[in-house]
Amino acid sequence: MTSLSDNDTTVAELKKRILAFARERDWEQFHAPKNLSMALAAEAGELMEHFLWAEPSASRDIARDPVRRAKIEEELADVIIYALEFANMTGIDVSAAIQAKMTANARKYPVEKAKGRSDKYTEL
């Protein structure tokens, strides 16, 4: 099996593999948007569990610890798998949606106002 890497893997390629996995198991019947959004949120919760009591700066070290890192990679993969399957089931083009959202974000957070600040755009 060839190893995939972000540099030469399109979003469509990942979506296609995830869809094939579900189809082969006849799982599309369970993959209603409601259920996938729950699974996504539950996996996001598992990812958070690695960092509950740590200071933010210490969480950077946790993510570098080899044992923890293997688990963290798995949780992140689960999150993105469910997000892409959600996109499969609803026909969303993820790249276009991200591009549109980033264009909107750029208007809400212009560089000169947002630089170095974590405030919400309503408070800039």
Q: What's the min distance (Å) between Cβ of 83 and a second copy? A: 5
d(CA 66, CA 69): 5
Which 20-49 positions form the footprint of a second copy (CB under 8 A)?
21, 24-27, 29-30, 32-35, 37-49
Q: What's the min distance (Å) between Cβ of 65 and a second copy? A: 11
Tokens linked to 43? 């996996």
**75: three-class secondary structure by DSSP:** helix
Q: Is 59 in the site for a second copy (CB under 8 A)?
A: yes
Q: Is 85 in the site for a second copy (CB under 8 A)?
A: no
Task: Give the contacts of 50 (CB within 8 A, at least 6 positions apart).
Answer: 59, 62, 63, 68, 71, 72, 75
d(CA 86, CA 92): 8
Q: Which of residues 65, 74, 108, 121 is near a second copy by CB under 8 A?
A: 74
Q: What's the min distance (Å) between Cβ of 116 and a second copy? A: 4
Q: What's the min distance (Å) between Cβ of 28 and a second copy? A: 10
Do you know the residue count of the chain? 124
